[in-house]
Amino acid sequence: MRKNLISVIILALCIVNLVLNALMVFVFVPSIKKTDNLVTEIAAILNLELEKNEEGDGKTNVAIADAATYNLSDNTTIPLKNDGSGTPHYAVLGISISMDSSSKDYATVSATMANTESWVVDVTRGIVQDYTYAEIQDAEIQNIIKQEIVNGLNEKYQTDIIYDINFSTFITQ
């Protein structure tokens, strides 16, 4: 008799457990769905902003056949921002500019580029000297610097054919 009574109690507890689990599912699922929708919307917004920055700052979909590069004739030595250590730091950069040769401005800008290398050096110096030795060692900061140089050169030359900058030489001390 005791075994039957214990079995009945266990069965009753299992049924109560099942009912409470079902109740929890119906209570928590709607709030979880709302949270999931909110997270999805935030992720979509962030993704749109990332895509906008990548596409809005420069042309990244240039065909290889349409890519043209211009290499500055000399390396550029740029003093870096004082980091408080008392030691001056410098960056030596060799700059290569990637342009879209299929653009209508290409002939004009590429012809002007040889005579106005000092513009490229000036824009590069203005951007790079705002960073310290420690900051410029970071790969993310280097990508930000490259994008700032691209934007600065496109503004200086009043065009949008420059889509990338590469450092053929990158030495810091």
pLDDT digits (tens, 9 = 90+) for 65-117: 888 888 888 888 899 888 888 889 899 999 998 888 888 888 888 888 888 88
Residue ranges with strand state E in 5-66: none
The 10 Å CB-count burial string (b at 16+, else e) for 131-162 is bbbebbeeeeebeebbbbbbbbbbeebebebb
Residue 74 has phi, psi (to 5 degrees) of -125, 155
Q: Please give the single-letter amino acid code of residue 43.
A: A
**Tens-digit pLDDT profile for residues 2-38:** 778 899 999 999 999 999 999 998 888 888 888 988 8
Residue ranges per structural domain of the chain = 1-57, 64-172
From 70, 72, 65, select the one nearest 99 (Cα to Cα).
70
Read off the pTM: 0.63
**Which residue, among 76, 74, 96, 87, has the nearest Cα to 173 in the 3D structure?**
87
CATH superfamily of 64-172: Band 7 domain (3.30.479.30)
